């Protein structure tokens, strides 16, 4: 009986240990077996060195999943294609692990986002960090999908060249240009330039230049002293105060509402004149004035003799009126009553 009890305890211990082990495995990673995923694949026409299985998949830094497979298109889709016609792309597949409703939304919007410019790109996590698969929005016309002749097993997301590859390509182009450059000729030219500069420097009159520089510095010092004397004069302070007062008066004038009203009135008059000119009334008025002037010129030209006679008569009439006015001033009574005035007999004189 004791042996049976021991076997029963041992069996119970084994069952508890196995259940605990499965529980730990489920907590550590077993839940991913029951978590919904969304798989997609992308193709690269360049090296993906540094991108390993299990590398993170991020959209603008937000973690979405991990890389699940890295393969060649020759083994995945081009096994029966002649070697000279194969694309030789790198096929990278990834799994996005999110909540079910987010997976459904992502699957629903995937095609629209790809058309809008969603692209996959290998990126570095820092300067010397691990590479990961990054998703971001790019210019769809600038980064079109790579051409291929097979049906992808999963949703296809086009790729964009990695920044690392672009930097390496630029460095290689720069080095190739350096190789093409004639380094020896360039070095000889630099040496000749250095020799020429040394010769020109030795030919310079250093003593004369030093004396002239000292003279210039002395004159500059005297000019600065003169400027200091001018600035410290009381007239300058008075001028500055007057300028400050004038600025204050100008600010007050600008702040006066009457000035604003005048400006508004001028603007209103200008607007009316502009509307008047745009309506065509101004042109019609000018034409009418021209027609009236033409008529007056014609009238004067046709009656030129009559106008001359009328002017002469008006001049004679004016002379007569001037004579009448003088007579009125000398003898107003005689002009009104008629006849000359009676002669006055002065005393002491006989008639």
Confidence (pLDDT) at 343: 60
Ranges 88-102, 139-153, 336-350: which has the least confidence: 336-350
Nearest to 118 by CA among 59, 43, 165: 59
For residue 97, the SS3 value is strand
User: Which pLDDT band holds residue 95 (cuts at 50, 70, 90)?
Assistant: very high
Confidence (pLDDT) at 328: 62
| pLDDT tens, position by position, 224-233 | 888 877 777 7
C-alpha count within 13 angstroms, C-beta hemisphere, residue 65? 22
- Residue 292 near residue 284, CB atoms below 8 Å: no
Is the predicted pLDDT of residue 276 greater than 80, yes or no? no
| pLDDT tens, position by position, 204-219 | 777 777 788 888 888 8
- Residue 55 near residue 133, CB atoms below 8 Å: yes
- Residue 64 near residue 39, CB atoms below 8 Å: no
Contacts for 43 with CB less than 8 Å, ≥ 6 apart: 73, 87, 89, 90, 91, 92, 146, 148, 156, 158, 159
Exposure string (b/e) for 267-287, b if CB count within 10 Å is 16 or more?
eeeeeeeeeeeeeeeeeeeee
| pLDDT tens, position by position, 138-162 | 999 999 999 999 999 999 999 998 8
For residue 28, the SS3 value is helix
Token readout for 120 is 């996959």
Query: What's the mean per-residue pLDDT of the chain?
Result: 78
User: Which pLDDT band holds residue 58 (cuts at 50, 70, 90)?
Assistant: very high
**According to DSSP H, which parts of the chain are helical?**
2-28, 73-76, 100-116, 163-180, 183-203, 206-231, 234-255, 257-279, 281-302, 304-330, 332-337
Confidence (pLDDT) at 67: 93
Is the predicted pLDDT of residue 282 greater than 70, yes or no? no
% of the chain at pLDDT higher than 90: 23
Confidence (pLDDT) at 25: 67
Q: Sheet containing 90-97: give its strands across.
A: 118-124, 131-137, 56-59, 62-72, 90-97, 37-44, 155-156
Of the ranges 155-159, 163-167, 265-269, the best mean pLDDT one? 155-159
Nearest to 164 by CA among 139, 135, 129: 129
Confidence (pLDDT) at 32: 53
Is the predicted pLDDT of residue 26 greater than 70, yes or no? no
- Residue 138 near residue 160, CB atoms below 8 Å: yes
120 bridge partner residues:
135, 159
Token readout for 130 is 């691990």
Instruction: Tell me the mean pLDDT in the region 48-56.
Output: 88
Is the predicted pLDDT of residue 72 greater than 90, yes or no? yes
Domain spans in the chain, listed from the N-terminal domain onward: 32-161, 162-204, 205-255
Instruction: Tell me the mean pLDDT in the region 59-67.
Output: 91
């Amino acid at each position: 009986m004791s042996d049976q009890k021991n076997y029963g305890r041992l069996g119970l211990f084994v069952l508890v240990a196995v259940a605990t082990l499965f529980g730990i495995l489920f907590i550590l990673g077993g839940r991913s077996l029951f978590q919904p995923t969304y798989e997609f694949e992308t193709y690269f026409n360049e090296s993906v060195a540094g991108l390993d299985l299990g590398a993170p998949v991020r959209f603008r830094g937000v973690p979405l999943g991990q890389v699940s497979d890295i393969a060649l298109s020759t083994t995945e889709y081009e096994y029966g294609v002649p070697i000279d016609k194969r694309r030789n792309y790198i096929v990278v597949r990834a799994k996005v692990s999110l909540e079910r409703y987010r997976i459904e939304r992502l699957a629903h919007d995937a095609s629209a986002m790809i058309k809008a410019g969603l692209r996959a790109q290998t990126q570095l996590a820092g300067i010397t960090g691990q590479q990961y698969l990054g998703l971001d929005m790019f210019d769809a016309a600038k980064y079109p999908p790579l051409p291929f002749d097979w049906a992808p097993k999963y949703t296809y997301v086009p790729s964009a060249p990695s920044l690392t590859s672009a930097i390496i390509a630029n460095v290689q182009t720069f080095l190739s240009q350096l190789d093409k450059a004639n380094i020896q000729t360039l070095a000889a030219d630099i040496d000749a330039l250095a020799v020429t500069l040394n010769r020109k420097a030795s030919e310079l009159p250093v003593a004369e230049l030093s004396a002239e520089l000292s003279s210039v510095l002395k004159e500059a010092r005297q000019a600065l002293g003169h400027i200091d004397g001018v600035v410290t004069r009381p007239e300058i302070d008075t001028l500055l105060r007057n300028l400050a007062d004038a600025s204050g008066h100008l600010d007050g004038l600008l702040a006066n509402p009457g000035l604003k009203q005048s400006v508004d009135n001028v603007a209103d008059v200008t607007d009316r004149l502009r509307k008047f000119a745009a309506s065509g009334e101004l042109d019609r008025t000018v034409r009418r004035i021209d027609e009236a002037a033409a008529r007056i010129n014609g009238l004067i030209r046709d009656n030129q003799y009559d106008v001359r006679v009328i002017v002469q008569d008006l001049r004679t009439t004016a002379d007569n009126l001037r004579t009448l006015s003088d007579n009125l001033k000398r003898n107003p009574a005689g002009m009104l009553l008629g006849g000359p005035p009676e002669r006055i007999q002065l005393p002491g004189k006989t008639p």
